[in-house]
Homo-oligomer: A and B are copies of this chain.
């Protein structure tokens, strides 16, 4: 059996201590390390100060097996991480020609001159494993020293993330004679405790693979993790477990190792060759915004309307002002009209309508969180009243999520009603 490693994540950067940025690197690395079965026991942050960095490294090496630093690898005189860590572990520095060449190439592609101070980034501890930076300029690295394993990664989240996934995780995997592989089942419509309740028996029964639920904003994730001698073996062990989970909560799983709910819906729409338009009231463009976050969204989404007033509902969609006056802008009838009309106007296969009370004020007829979401297609129109939380941000997020989920259920041939 392999040793279970403990890890400390050490962020380096005064901008973190000033609160200019939030330490998302620590969150992202924690998630990826838990996929490897490594226990993250400490996060810490120090500024661009060599003395306090040195002290933090001494503390980390005394309590953690693995130390992963983020930040401070750049070309300015503030960037002290590599130099300071090398000193702490008694290593000389050497110039890495490949890193320097890559940097020159990087600047050439951008058609920008490379100032000489950039080459400082190519100096790395002697004998380290170099992580070339394919996503920016500063290379990262890793080395072993006594009982410690040290990794240094760049600070910018995109670079830190990609380098850890593509270089750091394989490096850490190579140190173990066991392989840990995990898959994330992305779930919408069931909370963490509901997932736990339904799968409690299975979770207790399993030792390897293991099954663990995690709450995510507005949704939930279930991680299946297997340890085996080879990756293929680990994968094979997970197949029957995922099948059993699907047998219990299959409808709620929108993807395995998938991106966001909107990305899952986007893929499904592309696969089925279906187009979508949206008429948004309380979400005010949030559904359109999330869809168009995805490159290539125009393949499935020609557009939508934000109808934030009765006038807009009448003008842009031709909804009868009398109907709105009679039933109210937040009503089953108006929601249905929104989906039907936007589908007609935009000539899409599916139309979605969302109208509700995001708060803090109510419309006098409904509570904050009451939201009608409708879906129109060739077969007619489906509409439902949801109760979606008490704060404006929560109601809007949850309304958009449920709209995406409705499209997913329709395109997957699943029942539209999903809460119980």
| Contact surface of A with B, Cβ cutoff 8 Å | 11, 15-24, 26-32, 34, 40-47, 49, 52, 55-56, 59, 63, 214-216, 280, 282-289, 291-293, 295-298, 301-309, 311-312, 315-316, 345-347, 358-361, 392-393, 396
Q: How far is the CA of A339 from the CA of B59 in the complex (A)?
A: 59
Quick check: A42 and B44 within 8 Å, CB to CB? yes
Q: What is the chain B residue whose CB lies nearest that of A309?
A: B302
A52 cross-chain contacts in B, Cβ below 8 A: 41-42
Quick check: B43 and A16 within 8 Å, CB to CB? yes
A29 cross-chain contacts in B, Cβ below 8 A: 19
Q: What is the chain B residue whose CB lies nearest that of A217?
A: B21
Quick check: A43 and B59 within 8 Å, CB to CB? no
A11 cross-chain contacts in B, Cβ below 8 A: 43
Q: How far is the CA of A315 from the CA of B302 in the complex (A)?
A: 11
Quick check: A27 and B19 within 8 Å, CB to CB? yes
A289 cross-chain contacts in B, Cβ below 8 A: 283-286, 288-289
Taking a contact as CB atoms closer than 8 A, the residue among B20, B63, B345, B392 that contacts A215 in the complex is: B20
Quick check: B23 and A19 within 8 Å, CB to CB? no
A32 cross-chain contacts in B, Cβ below 8 A: 19
Q: How far is the CA of A27 from the CA of B23 in the complex (A)?
A: 8
Q: How far is the CB of A388 from chain B (nearest CB, A)?
A: 16
Q: A216-B20, A315-B345 are in contact. Are A306 and B309 (CB under 8 A)?
A: no
Q: What is the chain B residue whose CB lies nearest that of A295?
A: B360
Q: How far is the CA of A180 from the CA of B396 in the complex (A)?
A: 38
A280 cross-chain contacts in B, Cβ below 8 A: 285, 288
Q: A30-B19, A304-B305, A360-B295 are in contact. Are A43 and B44 (CB under 8 A)?
A: yes
Quick check: A308 and B285 within 8 Å, CB to CB? no
Q: How far is the CB of A389 from chain B (nearest CB, A)?
A: 13
A287 cross-chain contacts in B, Cβ below 8 A: 285
Q: How far is the CA of A44 from the CA of B347 in the complex (A)?
A: 54
Q: How far is the CB of A25 from chain B (nearest CB, A)?
A: 10
Quick check: A288 and B306 within 8 Å, CB to CB? yes
For this complex, 29 residue pairs linking A to B, each with C-beta atoms less than 8 Å apart, are: A15-B215, A17-B40, A17-B42, A18-B30, A18-B40, A19-B29, A21-B27, A22-B22, A23-B23, A23-B26, A42-B45, A42-B46, A43-B45, A283-B289, A283-B292, A284-B288, A284-B293, A285-B304, A289-B289, A292-B308, A293-B396, A295-B359, A295-B392, A302-B311, A302-B312, A303-B306, A303-B316, A311-B346, A315-B346
Q: How far is the CB of A297 from chain B (nearest CB, A)?
A: 7
Q: How far is the CA of A293 from the CA of B298 in the complex (A)?
A: 25
Q: What is the chain B residue whose CB lies nearest that of A301?
A: B308
Q: How far is the CA of A41 from the CA of B19 in the complex (A)?
A: 11
A305 cross-chain contacts in B, Cβ below 8 A: 303-306, 316
A47 cross-chain contacts in B, Cβ below 8 A: 41
Residue from A18, A216, A347 whose CB has the most chain B CB atoms within 10 Å: A18
Q: What is the chain B residue whose CB lies nearest that of A30?
A: B19
Q: How far is the CA of A403 from the CA of B347 in the complex (A)?
A: 29
Q: How far is the CA of A117 from the CA of B296 in the complex (A)?
A: 51
Q: A288-B306, A289-B284, A308-B292 are in contact. Are A214 and B20 (CB under 8 A)?
A: yes
Q: A27-B21, A295-B360, A393-B293 are in contact. Are A41 and B46 (CB under 8 A)?
A: yes
Taking a contact as CB atoms closer than 8 A, the residue among B19, B27, B30, B358 that contacts A34 in the complex is: B19
Given contacts A22-B26, A42-B44, A302-B311, 15 further A-B contacts (CB under 8 A): A19-B34, A19-B40, A23-B27, A42-B45, A43-B45, A282-B292, A283-B292, A285-B285, A285-B304, A286-B289, A288-B288, A292-B396, A295-B359, A295-B392, A304-B306
